[in-house]
A and B are shown apart, each in its own frame.
Chain A
Amino acid sequence: MKGLNILLRKLIKTGAGRVRFIMAVIGLSIAMVLILSAVQLQSNYNELLRGSGNRDSIANFLVINKILTDQNLKNTTLSDAEINDIKGQSFTDAVGVLHSSRFKASIQSSSTQFPFYTDIAFESVPDSFLDVSTKEWYWDESSNFVPIIVPGMFLDIYNFQFSLSQGLPQLTREVVKMIFFQVNIYDENGMSHSMRGRVVGFSDRISSLLVPQSFMDWANQQYGTAGNKAPSRIIIRTKDSGDPGLAAYLKEKNLSTDQDKTRFSRYRQVVDLVVNISGATGLLMLLFAILIFTLFIQLTISSCKDEIKLLLTLGASPKQIARFLMRQFFPSNLIIITASLAIVCILQYLAHAVLQRQEVHISALISYPTLLTAALVLFFIWMVNLINIRKYIKINH
């Protein structure tokens, strides 16, 4: 086989149309980088949008409440029917009800060095909607402290506004988590019941002071004043917060959500645009590159028409010649696609490193769909090569 290939290489010169070949190589390389980048970009976006354990996954969760107007003052609760309707929408993956405390409460410092006191109210939400995962997020009647999750934004306000103006020390998240304070709950008669509390985490998803559901149920039953009031706010998990149907639904039902989250739909438009442009350009270039490769194969075969004809006459099988030609043409395609994949790997790693510093986590490695795309394109080119080679050999036969 080796001996035959050496002789065939002398007979079938692939040097013809070198310029065309180089053009095809460049074209295919750019096309592959564009296509693979587009797929990777989409994968990264999906990861940000849908990935669990991603700090930037706020896009998945929307806290929804009625828009407060003069007409619906004191009547902003959401009925079961309304909640069920939201549950039934295509954009909704899951709905969680935010239960609010129906008792008065306050917190105060247990240290004299750092005195503070404030009235507060709590909310609770099913654990699956939390973006904080800590073993301390647990409460039962024998617990010696109440774990609390605070919006990350609160600490930012304290650190960057309040502490500066009041001459108070700035506090890191870690320091805050170490401070125990006193939680006071008042019953119907105004009697205060004290317990210890501590911040166990910061949420970027829900802007509310959160306590475990079990604590909320217990405290509402023990000290709650009003009856079992319907919730005013719910949280939904959605596949895509940029879904235009979602925005339309909220508008129609006079509901509102965190305005900030609409930025994700804008991001999505940008991502979609980039993915589409890069994907379409890549696809177009891929087609042209394959066309040029096809012409190159055609040129090579027709420039060796006589040799191939005599080879067949002497008893060389079309398959033998096709196999030889595939070996001449296909490795360059394999190299191009591998190199493109390597470039996209490097780009992905760099993007990962840059975004890491901005607390946006994307994978350092390329996604499976990207690999799959490369494999598919490779397979496609292999097929096109083989079909062309067989066709042109047959024509010469």
Chain B
Amino acid sequence: MAGLFLWFNNQSKHMTISLHEVVPVPLKEKLLKQVSDIWNREIVFTTPEWIKIKAPSGTGKTTFIHSLYKLRTDYTGSIQWGERNIASLNAEELAVLRQQKISVVFQDLRLFPNLTAFENIELNRVLQTPYCEKEQITVMAQMLGVDHIMHQPASLCSYGEQQRVSIIRALVQPFEWLIMDEPFSHLDKVNAGKAAALITAACKERNAGIIITDLHDDDHFDYTRKLVL
């Protein structure tokens, strides 16, 4: 009983993500002709939902991720993190929320080419009060089979290696939501499975939600909801 109460209590603290009739301006004409579970609808994501968004090419998958993370704002409607319309967040507030509540794996990975793989991960760990110990990076790198390239500049790593590094980078910070844009696109099935297991553990530990986009159906996670963009 006490455990259940704690669980509920924990739920209420976590931030929801909601979309209110969001339509990206550049895709407006095209999208309004299609049927979508996301665009131009009222949607609320609540932790610990694990949501799969299947998105055929050209439906605005990356646009959706970037809008959700406030990298772009060229849409109509509104997106809310908790009670706040993210359009109203200033740079400092946005930084705090990105440090504490929302972690991201970009499709284009976005590592610093001049830093080593390890430093890329470490940077995100020390950007705020560290969530985990430094040693944890090596442990995770070993689990994903990238420990041998940890001290190479990121620019010299293969796409598959960079993708795993960027997944680990997303997992060393505190978060309530993990947003991933085709996180396994450069990984084979075995490695994708290892990465999914690591992500699952990290999200369960934080009681965090997942929003993942991909082109195809998959069973990497125990999704609570599957949507089509």
Q: Which residues of A contact B (CB under 8 A)?
A: 1, 3-4, 7, 10-11, 307, 310, 312-320, 394, 397
In the complex, what residue of chain A is closest to B103 when comparing beta carbons? Answer: A315
Q: Cα distance A310–B166 when bound, in Å? A: 13
Interface string of B67-98 (1 = CB under 8 A from A): 00001000000000000000000011001101
Question: What are 17 A-B pairs at a CB distance below 8 A?
Answer: A4-B123, A4-B126, A7-B119, A7-B123, A10-B115, A11-B114, A307-B112, A314-B110, A314-B123, A315-B124, A315-B127, A315-B173, A317-B99, A318-B95, A319-B95, A320-B127, A394-B91
CB-CB under 8 A for A3 and B126, given A310-B110, A313-B71: yes
> In the bound complex, what is the Cα–Cα distance between A323 and B128 (angstroms)?
14
Contact B127 A4 (CB under 8 A): yes
Contacts of B127 in A (CB 8 A): 4, 314-316, 320
B21 in the interface (beta carbon within 8 A): no
A interface: dominant SS: helix
A394 to B95, CA, bound (A): 13
Interface set of B (CB-CB < 8 Å, partner A): 71, 91-92, 95-96, 98-99, 110, 112, 114-115, 119, 122-124, 126-128, 173
A11 cross-chain contacts in B, Cβ below 8 A:
112, 114-115
> Which of B99, B110, B115 contacts A315, CB < 8 Å?
B99
- In the bound assembly, the distance between CA atoms of A397 and B128 in angstroms comes to 20
Q: Which residue of B lies closest to A397 (CB)?
A: B91
Given A3-B122, A7-B122, the answer on whether A316 and B95 have CB atoms closer than 8 Å is: yes
Residues on the A chain within 8 Å of B173, using CB: 315
By secondary structure, the B interface counts as helix
B172 to chain A, nearest CB (A): 11
Q: Which residues of B contact A397 (CB under 8 A)?
A: 91
Report the separation of the CA atoms of residues A320 and B91 in the bound assembly, to the nearest whole angstrom: 11
In whole angstroms, what is the CA distance A397 to B115 when docked? Answer: 21
A310 touches B95 (CB 8 A): no
CA distance A314 to B119 in the complex (A): 14
In the complex, the answer to whether B112 meets A310 with C-beta atoms within 8 Å is: yes
Distance in angstroms from B63 CB to nearest chain A CB is 16
Closest to A317 in B: B95
Q: With A and B bound together, what is the CA distance between A313 and B95 in angstroms? A: 8
Closest Cβ–Cβ distance, residue B134 to chain A (whole Å): 8
Q: CA separation between A319 and B94, bound complex, in Å?
A: 12
